Amino acid sequence: MSDATATPSFCVISGRQVQQALEGRHREVVGMVEAAYRTHGAGDTVNPPSYFLRFPDRPTSRIIALPASLGGQTRVDGLKWISSFPENVAAGIPRASAVLILNDHDTGYPFACLESSIISATRTAASAALAAAKLTEGGERPRRIGFFGVGLIARYVHEYLRGTGWSFDEYGVFDLSREHAGGFTDYLDRATDSAAKTRVHTSARELVESSDLLVFATTAGAPHVTDPAWFSHNPVVLHLSLRDLSPEVVLGATNVVDDVEHCLKAGTSLHLAEQRVGNREFVDGTLDDVLSGRLTPRRDRPLVFSPFGLGVLDLAVGKDVYDTLRQAGELTVVDDFFHELRRYG
């Protein structure tokens, strides 16, 4: 909807369409995410604090609103509305569900509603793959990867690492649910080189100490990994779930974030570390600092990437899905969605 004088249209994009539009495009999507990070670093975005809707009668659940505006070549505004209901897992459905609304840059009219759990998982995985590549650049890539928490996000992270050229000699798995750990192991056996070894670990410590690249993708609400000695081999840690590591672990690491203000709030591990020491000096910089060469992270200690998850990343991926489907003539338009368009009737 680039012509502000045109009658607005509105379309609904299903999860099936989202998945098909993104399928097999791992490197391209990582490039989109990198471009969005660079646009954000250049100040050509608006990414206000996320709003958490919590429920006194359902304390483990929440719905988060992530409004954002992405400039650069994309030029789109919007809102991701994503819920996290951990009890869903026991009922056999995913924990998270989401929609993404895209708004026209010039008129403000919403022009698309997309199923967004796939977009959210995709941008998270692409961000993790980008960080893993950039944080290990110039050195030997890790050969032993460990997955701490094995839901949808862990699977997408593996897909994006594999889809951008990563391979491993050993895969480690740890989850509080033996059933989930077994299911993820079966997935890895199907999806990876049969020569690679896969092991389900019986303790968190065992997984951490045997992994050079760690992926934390849990539903933890408070730190549960508390001993810095587990990380004495200086692994790269993709701390995607943000609340797994104790302040002691954080303070003993090199810390890279996606956005300082976003990451140090809402009871994240970094927020707790800030409260412990009263400053933010333990944050070494952002991923954009690494991308632009302003920061070369130290590798003589654990290297932790903690991304809060910026709404501008969802906009970048969501707008590409919309453009892909529009060019293919596959948009499902809701006729007369905007009905009262004449000022005086």
Measured between alpha carbons, how far is 32 from 85 in angstroms, rounded to an integer?
29
Cβ contact 312:45 at 8 Å: yes
Spell out the domains of the chain, with CATH numbers in brackets: 11-119+311-327 (3.30.1780.10), 129-306 (3.40.50.720)
Question: pLDDT tens digits, residue range 215-240?
Answer: 999 989 899 999 999 999 999 999 99
pTM check: above 0.75: yes
The span from the CA of 213 to the CA of 168, in Å, is 10
User: Which residues of the chain fall below pLDDT 50?
Assistant: 1-4
Q: Which of 151, 206, 143, 150 is nearest to 171 (CA)?
A: 143
Q: How far apart, in Å, do the first and last CA atoms of the chain sit?
A: 23
Q: What is the pLDDT of residue 342?
A: 81
pLDDT confidence of residue 192: 82
Name which of 324, 310, 291 is nearest 69 in CA terms: 310
Radius of gyration of the chain, Cα coordinates, nearest whole angstrom: 20
The whole-angstrom separation of Cα 26 and Cα 12 is 24
Residue position matching structure tokens 């495009």 = 25
What pLDDT sits at residue 224?
A: 97
Angstrom distance (rounded) from CA 46 to CA 172: 38
State the DSSP H helix or E strand holding residue 177, giving kind and residue range, or none if neither: none
What's the pLDDT at 89?
85
pLDDT at residue 33 in the model = 98
Q: Residue 87 and residue 61: Cα distance in Å, rounded?
A: 8
Strand ranges for the chain from DSSP E? 11-13, 45-46, 51-55, 58-70, 76-84, 96-104, 110-115, 144-148, 170-174, 197-200, 213-216, 236-239, 254-257, 283-286, 303-306
pLDDT at 345: 74
Q: What is the 8-class DSSP label of residue 149?
A: S
Model pLDDT, residue 340: 82
**Average of per-residue pLDDT values in the chain:** 94
Other CB atoms within 10 A of residue 80 CB: 25
